[in-house]
Structures are given as structure tokens and as C-alpha cells.
Amino acid sequence: MPRLRVVQWATGAVGGYALRSVITRPEFELAGVLVYDPDKVGVDAGSLIGLDPVGVSCTDDVEQILSLDADCVLHMPLPASYFGGDHATDVETICALLSSGKNVITTTGFVYPAAYGPGVVERLEAACAEGGTTLHGTGINPGFVSDLLPLALTGLSSRLDHIYVRESSDYRGHPSRQIVTDLIGFTRSAKDYAAAVRPFRAFQRALFAESVQLVTTALNVRLDEIEESDEFELATEEFEIAAGTVLPDTVCASRWTFSGLIRGRPFMTVECVYKADATKVRRWADPGFAIHIEGRPTIALTIDEVSHGLAGAAAHAVNSITSVCAAPPGIRTMLDLPLSIGRGTARLA
């Protein structure tokens, strides 16, 4: 069976893990790598992540990537809002890739593009039709914890009253200042945070609205609206994290909630807690994931630890490549694809 030719688009915290999997797994062949950092341009993709050279150099030339012969693109950049754009910019990029004949798996959302309205869906479907390609949005949350797992658990329910999902993440070891400070807003003063977090707020609202609508649509539930709220916590002491120094009276944690309402009552709620260092921030939940389904029966599931969440997000995307490439052209959510099964190397004692 011929190997699938894969392009890695962006090599940040998640993209680096994905690139390693593409290089080391025998069913894939690395076709190209798109980078944003000028220092990475021209660097061999293997050398970039500490492996032996593979003969594929990183590039920042989008047209070069579009012209490549490849089966799939792992699209894993920061959201366009980080660069001063908006959601439409990501749509344009993804449409260009799809139209060029490449399937696209993205971690920038798009787990349920219908949440953006018929106009976006029509553009994406037209690009898929032109290129004979498939689009799939995935990740760890959304993409797994706030949608795939709750839906799997509802298979045990005869009545559903409320679905609650919580993610609590510790960013103490996260190496990217772009994400930890520029996007999420940790280490900023309260005043600077209020202004700087606006693009991230818009991205979060869109991202989790997709997830909530995916679940409720799959359950044949019609929501009246999706309500969003967020708050933050200020540090009381100075401490170090991988992305920099957190000073007293700067933002060290945030909490976001997204609730799908029916007649003013929540049917599904997603809570996201982000902490610069969970050992320094006692407010809100400890790191881990929780799902609570109220109904008949009531079901509670907790995941106390995911040691490498970024690796998990990358793996969920990489494990989808074969199914996405085999799928008919068009938008394919997780409801349309076989469950992604891990293909890591087992080490037996």
C-alpha cells in the first residue's frame, strides 16, 4: 500500500508533535513543512525536531506548499486572530488547500463548521468539490473531550437533563510565550489583559460554540442561544513558568464557561479553566477533565491527568489521516469518520 504524503502546516507546540509522528510512522511520507518563524526556514524538518535529516526543508512560501503533490495537510497554526486577522482568514487558507487537491485536518476549530452559518459551509463544500477533498476539524478539546466523549456516554442515557464538561489545564511547562502570554494573557496586568484578550475571547467563543452545537445537533436538540462568560485571577506572588515570569497583580488564571440554553436553562455547559501554575493558583478546579451527565442514569467521568495534552491533540489529528483521506469529498465531522485509534509503539515489560 503506498504511503500517504502529508504536509505539516506550522511546527509550534502541537505541530512539532505531529511532525515527529509523520516522520517516524511508516504509513506516511513527509511532503512539505510550512513554518512561520524565519529562523526555521531552510532547516531540515527532521533536524528541526531533533531527528536525523529527512531531506525536506521547511519553507514559509505558501504557494510552494499549495503546488505540492500531497494527500493531506495537518493544519496547526495559531488562530488567525493572533496575527491580526479573523476567522475568515482561516477559512480562506483552508479553502485554498482544499481546492489544491489536498485533504485538510485542522486544529483551528471547524469541528462543526455549520456553527458559522450556511455561507461558510457553502464555501468549504465548494472548495472540497473543486479539489475532490475532505475537511476535518479535530483536537483534544474541542475534538475529543467536549464532544466525542460526552456523546459516547449519552449512549447509556434514556433521559438527558444537562451535559457538563470541564477542562482544567496547567500551563506551567508550556514553552510558547505566544500562546501563554500573547494569546491567553498570562503575565499581563488586568488592564492590558482586558484589551489583549479580545481576539482570544472571539476565538474561544467560536470554538466552543462549534463543540456545543455539534453535540446538541447529534442529540437532535435545538438550542435557543449559547451564552459565554469569562473571568480571571491575579497572582499574589512572583513565580516562574516556562513561558516567563508571573509577577504579583498580573493575570495567572482564567475561567471560561459556554452554555447552550433552552428556554433560559442550560442543556450543555463547557467550562475551561487555564492556570499559569496550578500549584500557585488554588481557585477553581485542579488540572484534569470531568464530564457529568445529569439524567437517567446520571453519569460522572473524571480524567485526573493527561501528562502531555499537546501530544494528545496532535495524535488525535494524525490518527485521523487515513480515515480522512479515504472519506468522500466534503466536510466530515467526527460523527462521519471511524473512531481514531492510536498507533503508538507499544513497549512490553
- Whether 301 and 237 have beta carbons less than 8 Å apart is answered as no
Residue 23 has pLDDT above 70, yes or no: yes
Q: C-alpha dihedral over 140, 98, 56, 317, to 10 degrees?
A: 10
Residue-wise pLDDT tens digits, 26-77: 999 999 999 999 999 999 999 999 999 999 999 999 999 999 999 999 999 9
**Smallest Cα–Cα separation from 147: which of 115, 111, 106, 114?**
111
Residue-wise pLDDT tens digits, 133-186: 999 999 988 989 999 999 999 999 999 999 999 999 999 998 888 889 988 999
**Smallest Cα–Cα separation from 257: which of 285, 289, 229, 292?**
229
Residue 208 has pLDDT above 90, yes or no: yes
Distance CA(115)–CA(267), nearest Å, equals 17
* Helices and strands in the chain: count of H runs, count of E runs: 11, 15
**Smallest Cα–Cα separation from 132: which of 93, 91, 104, 90?**
104
pLDDT level of residue 340 (50, 70, 90 thresholds): low
- Whether 33 and 64 have beta carbons less than 8 Å apart is answered as no
Q: Is the pTM of this model over 0.75?
A: yes
Write down the domain spans for the chain. 4-139+311-331, 148-305
10 Å CB burial of residue 203 (0-12, 13-18, 19+) is buried
Other C-beta atoms closer than 10 Å to the C-beta of 304 total: 9
What pairs with residue 271 in β-bridges? 166, 257
301 φ, ψ (degrees, to nearest 5) = -135, 130
Give me the pLDDT at residue 198, please. 82
User: What is the CATH architecture assignment of 4-139+311-331?
Assistant: 3-Layer(aba) Sandwich (3.40)
Q: Work out the average pLDDT over 267-294.
A: 96
- Whether 58 and 85 have beta carbons less than 8 Å apart is answered as no
Give the chain's mean pLDDT: 92
Q: Work out the average pLDDT over 321-338.
A: 94
pLDDT level of residue 339 (50, 70, 90 thresholds): low
